[in-house]
Amino acid sequence: MDDVFIDAFFYGNDDEANKRFRQRLLEEQAPQEEEEEREIAIVEVDFFVPENNAFGNSFRNYQDSLRRIAVEELYRTNHAFQTYEFAMAKKEEYGRLEKGVMSIWECCELLNEYVDESDPDLDEPQIEHLLQTAEAIRRDYPDQDWLHLTALIHDLGKVLLHPAFGGEPKWCVVGDTFPLGCAFSEAIVHHKLFVANPDGRNPEYNTKLGIYIENCGLENVAMSWGHDEYLYLVAKGNNTTLPPAALFIIRFHSFYALHQGGAYTYLMNNEDKEMLKWLHVFKKYDLHSKSKERINEDEVKPYNLSLIEKVRSTFIEL
Ligand SMILES: O[C@H]1[C@H](O)[C@@H](O)[C@H](O)[C@@H](O)[C@H]1O
Ligand SMILES: [Fe+2]
Ligand SMILES: [Fe+2]
């Protein structure tokens, strides 16, 4: 068992075991290192962006991908049931971070069991996607270790699928995310399927601004519930020292209607507009690193463990 933990992650249902791990962590916790100044700069990089995905199709092709039917079915349910009330209730429930504790690496390994059915571009286990993204971004940004770690963990919220985390159905774990409490944009994947969503008939929620005011900031927007929001709650709840850009990536990387479709810009404040560039950077690796070429887990594990080690004092909540 590695000695770095994310709270909210289980270690069985055994409270005693949880307590013992927490105690051990307290005892073992290294003295805080001086926060070094982080250089966060976007540089021109030359990642080879492939045109085709693992199946030889263009990326994010929702019309005629090999996985079209399964993907569409997932969004049918997602668009019907993701309401403002639903997402709020999930946020409240999971925001308590009561599921337990577990190491970040163990959590990655848990995702070995899951293939993301909302994804037209990849049918490999999710741990492969984490490693592919992290390795691709590391190649182009060798000095930005926070980006490597962000890539490694960005989809860990998908553990919601695991019975120990509630065994949530796929439609409220994976897939693109979108704001709730205001009108659904046509830029959202399979937007026609929102006809079945009661919020679309609610006059409080179905106008351009709905419950929001112009430029209120994405921080104040209720997003549909899924792996992004869950991991964001976990990172915040554990007082992460990852930079704000990492949290922004974690929380909004599935918000394609914004970072690819250019919709909902009127909800952004100036800070969000600054941050948006990181979603563009991240997307390149998150999306285009998907391939059939497997990463050798044993080879990259030591480096990733060293990254995890660096934030050990961050990723625990006691
Ligand atoms: O199918 C994918 C997958 O679930 C990703 O993890 C998510 O970030 C994307 O936005 C989504 O379209
Ligand atoms: Fe994701
Ligand atoms: Fe991803």
Residue 10 reports pLDDT greater than 80: no
**What are the tens digits of pLDDT across the range 149-184?**
999 999 999 999 999 999 999 999 999 999 999 999
Is 129 one of the annotated binding-site residues? yes
Instruction: Judge whether 97 and 7 are in contact, CB under 8 Å.
Output: yes
DSSP 95: H
Contacts of 272 (CB under 8 A, 6+ apart): 217, 218, 219, 248
H/E segment holding residue 256: helix 256-259
Comparing 131 with 2, the larger pLDDT belongs to: 131
CA 74 to ligand 1 centroid distance, Å: 12
Query: Does the pTM exceed 0.80?
Result: yes
Q: What's the length of the chain?
A: 318
Nearest ligand 1 atom, CA 254: 10
Instruction: Judge whether 285 and 137 are in contact, CB under 8 Å.
Output: yes
**What are the tens digits of pLDDT across the range 250-260?**
999 999 999 99
Instruction: Judge whether 176 and 257 are in contact, CB under 8 Å.
Output: yes
CA–CA dist 164, 2 (Å, integer): 19
Instruction: Judge whether 7 and 108 are in contact, CB under 8 Å.
Output: no
Nearest ligand to the C-alpha of residue 116? Answer: 1
Look up residue 189 and give its two tokens: 């994947």
Look up residue 163 and give its two tokens: 């019975």
Nearest ligand to the C-alpha of residue 161? Answer: 1
**What are the tens digits of pLDDT across the range 32-42?**
444 444 445 55
Nearest ligand 1 atom, CA 227: 6
CA 253 to ligand 2 centroid distance, Å: 6
Residue 46 has a pLDDT of 59
CA distances from 175 to 78, 116, 198, 206, 223 (A): 8, 8, 20, 22, 12
CA distances from 280 to 21, 62, 231, 244 (A): 38, 20, 20, 15
Q: How far apart are the first and last CA of the chain?
A: 18
Nearest ligand 1 atom, CA 256: 10
Return the residue whose CA atom lies nearest to atom 3 of ligand 1: 175
Return the residue whose CA atom lies nearest to atom 1 of ligand 1: 119
Probe residue for ligand 1, chosen from 65, 119, 248 as the CB with the greatest number of ligand atoms within 8 Å:
119
Pocket of ligand 1 from Cβ distances under 6 Å: 116, 118-119, 155, 174-176, 253-254, 256
Summarize the confidence of residues 260-287 as an average pLDDT: 97
Summarize the confidence of residues 121-138 as an average pLDDT: 95
CA–CA dist 175, 159 (Å, integer): 14
Residue 228 reports pLDDT greater than 80: yes
8 φ/ψ sector (left φ>0, alpha ψ -120 to 50, else beta): left
CA 317 to ligand 2 centroid distance, Å: 24
Place of tokens 């979108």: 178
Nearest ligand to the C-alpha of residue 117? Answer: 1
CA distances from 39 to 9, 144, 146, 232, 239 (A): 31, 8, 10, 22, 21
Is 154 one of the annotated binding-site residues? yes
Summarize the confidence of residues 125-147 as an average pLDDT: 95
- Residues, CB within 5 angstroms of ligand 2 (ion): 155, 254
Is 148 one of the annotated binding-site residues? no
Sequence spans of domains, the chain: 59-317
